[in-house]
A = this chain, B = another copy of it.
Amino acid sequence: MQKPTITDIDAAQQRIGDHIHRTPVYTSATIDRWSGKTVFFKLENLQKTGAFKLRGACNAVLCLSTEQAQKGVATHSSGNHAAALAYAASLRQIPAFVVMPENAPANKIAAVREYGGQITFCRPTLKAREKSLIKVCDQTGAVFIHPYDHPDVIAGQGTACLEFLDQVEELDAILIPIGGGGLAAGTAIAAQKKSIPVIACEPEMANDAYISFIQGERVTNAYPDTIADGLRTLLSPLTFAVVKESVQDIVCVSEKEIIRAWRMVLERMKWVVEPSAAVPVAALIDHPDRIPGNRIGIILSGGNIDLTHLPRFDRN
């Protein structure tokens, strides 16, 4: 697969612009005080479907020819990509087939259904998912849209950064969370437009991207286990190729640091974000020596939390 280019991201922005929110950028005096930097937050938790994932899904669906699109699209996901793909498919009035593990959170299932997605449940293993997906694609003729190992998806995710560059002048660095690497890859390519370094932030408990980055070879046998449920995925061949080349650094944070940063965003900034979105905030607060410069942009990646499954927050 071809790595997407800045031109692809520009084209994606044109293509999806009418269907997504241009999300707002906010600042927080509290975070500036605690970090000693001037921080700008791009609120992708306010994106339609509650996460940046709609950008990539929307771009991929709109890139399909009429012929390709007519039998619909399919994916396997327990998370935001599933809802995003269902929403994107509804824009073209084509079916979206989603394979979800039978233990997927109720709110994620509800979101996919709300956007008209057709769900096939499977056992909660990657093998079962992949097998179910092949079966669904065979039966329906739907096109598989991978959550991140897909150039059109990566180009779509990059549009958040393009908007950000337009909204805030002279950023010294942009921080994003890294899981499968779609947002990281898209951001790293888009940020080249103004030569801004992109720092990917990853949970220690799901540090396959960090190890792959350091070793120069993609880790394929890791078992991520972190509260940041959106980041329990491994880099793919395509995202690794981009990340290796274009991301400046990867900073790892502990579970404790993620929970503390998450809590700070909820309690002090009053924005509902998911734990994955708090990972760059944790990097900013707890690893300031790793963050270059003073004017820092953070993409708050999503806001879909499961209120029936919140962790136990300890008293301070």
Which residues of A are at the interface with B, using a C-beta cutoff of 8 A? 45-46, 50, 106-107, 110, 263, 266-267, 270-273, 303-305, 307-308, 310, 313-316
Contact = CB atoms under 8 A, between A and B. Distances in A.
A307 B266 contact: yes
Contact of A308 (B107, B271, B273, B314): B314
Q: Which 3 A-B pairs have the closest CB atoms?
A: A307-B313, A270-B272, A270-B303
Nearest to A262: B307
Contacts of A308: 313-315
A267 B49 CA distance: 11
Q: Give the copy number.
A: 2
A267 B263 contact: no
Contacts of A272: 266-267, 270-272
B106 A316 contact: yes
A267 B106 contact: no
A45 B307 contact: no
Nearest to A50: B270
Contacts of A313: 307-308
Given A106-B315, A110-B316, A316-B106, A46 B307 contact: no
Contacts of A263: 307
16 contacts: A46-B270, A50-B270, A106-B316, A110-B316, A263-B307, A266-B272, A266-B305, A266-B307, A267-B307, A270-B273, A271-B271, A271-B272, A272-B272, A307-B313, A308-B313, A310-B310
A106 B46 CA distance: 30
Contacts of A107: 267, 316
A314 B308 CA distance: 6
A256 B26 CA distance: 33
Given A271-B272, A307-B313, 20 more contacts: A45-B270, A46-B270, A106-B315, A107-B316, A110-B316, A263-B307, A266-B272, A266-B305, A266-B307, A267-B272, A267-B305, A267-B307, A270-B271, A270-B273, A270-B303, A271-B271, A272-B272, A307-B310, A308-B313, A310-B310
Contacts of A267: 107, 272, 304-305, 307
A206 to B, nearest CB: 23
Contacts of A316: 106-107, 110
A270 B51 CA distance: 11
Contacts of A50: 270
A67 B37 CA distance: 40
Contacts of A307: 263, 266-267, 310, 313
A19 to B, nearest CB: 13
A273 B303 CA distance: 15
A316 to B, nearest CB: 6
A135 B273 CA distance: 44
A226 to B, nearest CB: 19
Max chain B Cβ within 10 angstroms of own Cβ: one of A45, A271, A305, A314: A271
A305 B106 CA distance: 24
Nearest to A110: B316
